[in-house]
Amino acid sequence: MTITGSVTILMFALAPYIWFIVTGVVMVVGLHLLAYLRGYQIAHHRSLFAILLAALVGLTAFVWVPWLTHSTLGYVATVFDWVALTGAAIATFVVALIVLHPLSYLISDRHTD
């Protein structure tokens, strides 16, 4: 199995969920656009709550990602298993932060609306 072959397999596996991924991306872009229109700037907005909540959501990936794949955390055994699961948790944290960070700005009273 080659890297190219692995990517090909991954693309076919993701194909049925493209609509879901695209919908998610559109919603996130829409959220960011709305926040920017109300003065949101990533570098200037500080939200410890958003970071902590995103980290918490990321940590939950260690439970629900194995469950979602019909497995359990107990079968995450090899080094590569842990690297992959940790990567999934980090990705979950990043996605959660991308959503929660502008959301925290919108629900706070610091924006000009």
Partner 1 sequence: MIADYNFIHVVPPMSAHDFVKQSALIAQDGPFRGEWLDVDIYTMQHNRYPEVFGIGDVIGAPINKTAASVKAQAPVVEANLLAVMQGNPLTARHNGYTSCPLITGIGKAMLVEFGYEDNFAFMPSFPFIDPTDESWVTWVMKDRMLQPAYYAVLEGRA
Binding site for partner 1 (CB under 8 A): 1-2, 5, 8-10, 12-13, 15-16, 66, 69-72, 75-81, 84-85
DSSP letter at 40 equals -
49 vs 75, beta carbon nearer partner 1: 75
Please choose, from the candidates 112, 52, 62, the residue with its C-alpha nearest in 3D space to the C-alpha of residue 91: 62
Question: What gap in Å lies between CA 104 and CA 47, rounded to an integer?
Answer: 7
Least distance from C-beta 78 to partner 1, angstroms? 5
Output 48 or 79, the one with its CB closest to partner 1: 79
